[in-house]
Structure 1
Amino acid sequence: MTSTTKSGLNDIAAAAESAKGQAPGRGLPPVHLWNPPHCGEIDIVIKADGRWVHEGAVIGREALVRLFSTVLRKDPDGIYLVTPVEKLRITVEDAPFVAVRVDREGEALKFLTNVGDEVVAGPDNPIRVETSPGGEPRPYVHVRRGLEALIARPVFYELVEMAEVRETPDGPMLGVGSGGAWFPIGAAEAEGA
């Protein structure tokens, strides 16, 4: 495992900041185009609740977390912080982001993540719901390039309030529409519909 000190985090932040302007829009760098030669690991864990932890301590600088979130990339073997010169694997307990808000804008559902990403659910950014071993729903929305946000419980309750029942091959399901697509979020009977 690569031992990364505070100055190492600053080096990664500086590389991410310098690369930030290489893409239009929100300034997301083109991490999908980078294949740096150096690859290792860094002791960063994104907790299931969205907190970023480095060497056991929560990263308290919101701007630093937001910056690091822009250089995340999901590869077949894990999630990495990627800059033009370095690729470091990190640990993600659940999803790298948390959807902390949803707004209905006409026919679209617009989500806001804990790191400031805004994403409209639709065919390119689907909503999916898994069931935890304990039977609890675990809802997600796709954010970008295979990276998802866990939909926070209060936000999921808002989706349930917006949901409509449709008949499906699996029986009546509650679901929400957005961006021309419909996403089942649970069995209608389970929600008391």
Structure 2
Amino acid sequence: MSERPKTETGGLAAVAGAAKQAPGRGLPPVHLWHPEHCGDIDIIIRADGVWMHEGAPIGRAELVRLFSTVLRKDPDGYHLVTPAEKLKITVEDLPFRAVTLEHVGGRMVFTTDVGDAVEAGAGHPIVVETDPVTGEPAPRIHVRGDLWARIVRSIFYELVETATVEAGRLVVRSDGESFALGPVGAGVE
């Protein structure tokens, strides 16, 4: 991995400060912030959902949640964004993981590893692609902006168990929308 320039001075503190400006548990309006790119910061969101800073896991869940609220995906990658700074980070797969699922009156509500509740539906589709390396299903759900959560294996199995077969495909429904999990007999039955 190539060495990145570090912009730690003010970077993490500024990001944390900007995230704290969001009232309650609401999200800061990162879509309205368009600062210049300030450089890269040594934060990696690993494929298993662990947030790393300078090679060590960020151990405080509150800090990870705080940073997740100012995360944005732009055409050139993932960034932590404040009104004054834009710092590029590395995301190995997707930034979030859907780790729980609740069925509530015909709706499926997923909770991510950073505490976001996402109701599957037209605005938050479930998409299942095939992992090009393993050939296994790679399910995800839209969270916000251009940010997605990888649906963890146990939750995907739960979806498969509740699916119905329609035209040779396994399908789940939430909030009046249908989502195909894959063809019957393709490793998802």
- 3-state DSSP class of the match of 1:85? coil
Q: TM-score, normalized by length of structure 2?
A: 0.92
Shift of 1:6: 7.9
Shift of 1:26: 3.2
1:105 aligns with 2:104: yes
Specify every segment of 5 or more residues in structure 1 that has no aligned partner in the other structure, as ranges.
Answer: none
Deviates more, 1:148-157 or 1:6-15: 6-15
Shift of 1:31: 0.2
Letter in 2 for 1:135: G
What's 2:15 paired with?
A: 12
What's 1:147 paired with?
A: 147
Deviates more, 1:30-39 or 1:7-16: 7-16
Specify every segment of 5 or more residues in structure 2 that has no aligned partner in the other structure, as ranges.
Answer: none
After TM superposition, where is structure 1 displaced by more than 3 Å over at least 4 residues in a row? Answer: 4-8
Q: Deviations over 1:108-131 (max 9, x none)?
A: 110000000000001110001111
Determine if contact 1:98/1:114 at 8 Å carries over to the other structure: yes
Alpha-carbon distance in 2 for matches of 1:11, 1:56: 21
Letter in 1 for 2:40: E
Greater share of helix: 1
What's 1:67 paired with?
A: 66
Determine if contact 2:7/2:39 at 8 Å carries over to the other structure: no
Shift of 1:75: 0.9
Number of residue pairs the alignment of both structures matches: 185
Q: TM-score, normalized by length of structure 1?
A: 0.90
Matches within 5 A, 1:75-90: 75-90=74-89
What's 1:160 paired with?
A: 160
What's 1:35 paired with?
A: 34
Q: Deviations over 1:19-66 (max 9, x none)?
A: x12xxx731000000011343111110000100001111000110000
Tell me how large the CA RMSD over aligned residues is. Answer: 1.7
